[in-house]
Structure 1
Amino acid sequence: MAAVATSLRLFSTTNDPILRRKPNFSTTIPSAFSVSSNSYSINSNASLSFIAPLEAILFDIDGTLCDSDPLHFYAFRDMLQEIGFNNGSPIDEEFFINNISGKHNEELCNVLLPEWEVEKAMKFMVDKEALFRRLAAEQLEPISGLEKLCKWVEDLGLKRAAVTNAPRSNAELLISMLKLEDFFEVIVLAEECARAKPFPDPYLKALNALQISPNHTFVFEDSVSGIKAANGAGMPAVGMASRNPEQMLLDAGATFVIKDYNDPKLWENLEEIVQQKLPL
């Protein structure tokens, strides 16, 4: 794996916006950006036109590129039931959405297993992720319209990165199964940042790695924590309501919410951004 300094040089010394390389997994928060502990709502009248001209798009992975939340739910439901969580009653989807979705594993140790020793709780999370990968290898599906959007991004020469709270093994598997290894220029793992989403650190790191401005970038996210992280890094977020309630994402600060990448609302906004950069 290339060192971070090397990956940063790749993006700072070329004018070619499409880099046909395997994605770089960044490992440190660059000092060029100050990291705020506060997130804020951008919600700019349900339009992305204010970010024109568009330079880049950043993507979450789980629930945003692929419909993986049901597989995480099944894995958590079965494993929590095995250890007698909730007196042995299986968790439901509402519990998953409100307490698990979008959170990273260290945080989930405190949420789900607060009385367990840290090592034992983290071992549970590692085993859960292994079960998720077995399920994903058999059942993973991309979000509808993803291929169309990726082609649009490539045709315009936009920069792009994946930014995730998922562990490395999950991120690598999902990116590979979706055949996006050559699409992303950078993949940022929150587990290798000082703080994970909902803090802005992972998105700030992606901005620095791609050498782009948050003023001309937006994010696709499906969770409350991800939207807060994107907003906290100064970027608007388009909410993906594939599983989480639309109003929950709007309340978190999503500029607008879509069901998938074929949503007319998304393409109206994208075309508006493109038109704004054309000369009169």
Structure 2
Amino acid sequence: MTAHENPLQRLDGKQLLIFDFDGTLAETSPLHARAFVETLTPLGVPVDYPTLAGLRTRDAIEKAFRSAKRASEDVDVGALVAEKQRRARLLIEQELEPSPRIDAFLRWAQTRFRLAMVTSGSRGTIDLALRKLRYENWFDPLICADDVERAKPAPDGFLKALRLAQCEAAAALIFEDSESGFASARAAGIEFIDVNKFDWFATQLERA
């Protein structure tokens, strides 16, 4: 269940393609990194975004406090979550643009597979981003951090996607970019593609 050098073969027998959002379908990672920095550095909490990528916002903030050897119990984490989300949504509204190669791949895949999404993003942020990219109603099921008790790296989101889609794990394929996402996919027993390893989307379109 690791990335493969010829990803086209991984589609054989698949019915359900499950996508992460941030860093996978959209280049939102720099925007989220900025939102974390703007929210946490005034409190003296440094942000190492690669260690936070793929985590639910609350989990990421608590991890940043632990890494800084600061007690998150001393602050209103809920208020920090809301502030980070506010900043991220503003950046998404102002700066997010679709990737032509990813857009072309999704349009290709939409006619051949069922598309789903499992993300650690909040419902409000993901809905805003999908509207901005014009991908509303493309993903069913669409599972956000709010929809499961345990977000990535726990497998809950991916397992819920299988249940809702009535799909066996062997017929699903996950597209992920973060260590927490890879761990979640492994725990769910679902094959995954690490989109960091190669230009998967361009490769697909060249050989489809």
1:189–1:118 Cα change, 3 Å: farther
1:213-245 C-alpha deviation (Å, 9 max, x unpaired): 21121111111111111222222211222xxxx
Q: Of 135, 144, 147, which residue of structure 1 is paired with 2:103?
A: 147
Q: Of 102, 116, 122, which residue of structure 1 is paired with 2:54?
A: 102
For 2:59, give the aligned amino acid.
E
For 1:113, give the aligned amino acid.
F
- Partner of residue 199, structure 2: 259
Q: Of 199, 205, 229, which residue of structure 1 is paired with 2:160?
A: 205
- Partner of residue 249, structure 1: none
Aligned residues between the structures: 203
1:43 partnered with 2:2 = yes
Q: What is the CA distance between 1:258 and its match in structure 2?
A: 2.4
1:118–1:160 Cα change, 3 Å: farther
1:18-57 matched pairs, under 5 angstroms: 42-43=1-2, 46-48=5-7, 49=9, 52-57=12-17
Instruction: State the TM-score, normalized to the length of structure 2.
Output: 0.87
- Partner of residue 121, structure 2: 166
Q: What is the CA distance between 1:190 and its match in structure 2?
A: 2.8
Q: What is the CA distance between 1:63 and its match in structure 2?
A: 1.1
Q: Is the 8 A contact 1:219 1:238 kept in 2?
A: yes
1:186 partnered with 2:141 = yes
Q: Equivalents in 1 of 2:2, 2:205: separation in Å?
A: 18
For 1:70, give the aligned amino acid.
P
Secondary structure class of the residue paired with 1:180: coil
- Partner of residue 85, structure 1: 45
1:74 partnered with 2:14 = no
Mean CA deviation greater in 177-186 or 141-150? 141-150
- Partner of residue 76, structure 2: 120
Q: Equivalents in 1 of 2:90, 2:170: separation in Å?
A: 39
For 1:258, give the aligned amino acid.
F
Secondary structure class of the residue paired with 1:209: helix
Instruction: State the TM-score, normalized to the length of structure 1.
Output: 0.66
Q: Identify the structure with the greater helix proportion.
A: 2
Q: What is the CA distance between 1:167 and its match in structure 2?
A: 0.9
> What 5-or-longer segments of structure 2 have no aligned partner?
none
Q: Equivalents in 1 of 2:52, 2:28: separation in Å?
A: 13
Secondary structure class of the residue paired with 1:117: helix
Q: Is the 8 A contact 1:238 1:258 kept in 2?
A: no
- Partner of residue 18, structure 2: 58
Q: Is the 8 A contact 1:165 1:189 kept in 2?
A: yes
Deviating above 6 A after TM superposition, structure 1's stretches of 4 or more consecutive aligned residues are none
Q: What is the CA distance between 1:144 and its match in structure 2?
A: 4.3
Q: Equivalents in 1 of 2:91, 2:2: separation in Å?
A: 36
Q: Equivalents in 2 of 1:173, 1:239: separation in Å?
A: 25
- Partner of residue 247, structure 1: none
Secondary structure class of the residue paired with 2:23: coil
Secondary structure class of the residue paired with 2:194: strand
Q: Equivalents in 1 of 2:102, 2:159: separation in Å?
A: 24
Q: What is the CA distance between 1:126 and its match in structure 2?
A: 1.2
For 2:54, give the aligned amino acid.
G
1:228-279 C-alpha deviation (Å, 9 max, x unpaired): 11222222211222xxxxxxxxxxxxxxx223621x2x458x85xxxxxxxx
Q: Equivalents in 1 of 2:173, 2:127: separation in Å?
A: 23
1:166-199 C-alpha deviation (Å, 9 max, x unpaired): 1111111111111111311210123321211111
* Paired-residue identity, %: 26
Q: Is the 8 A contact 2:123 2:145 kept in 1?
A: no
Q: Is the 8 A contact 2:176 2:194 kept in 1?
A: yes
1:59-109 C-alpha deviation (Å, 9 max, x unpaired): 1111111100000111111222222224xxxx4xxx211x21111123223
Greater Cα radius of gyration, structure 1 or 2: 1
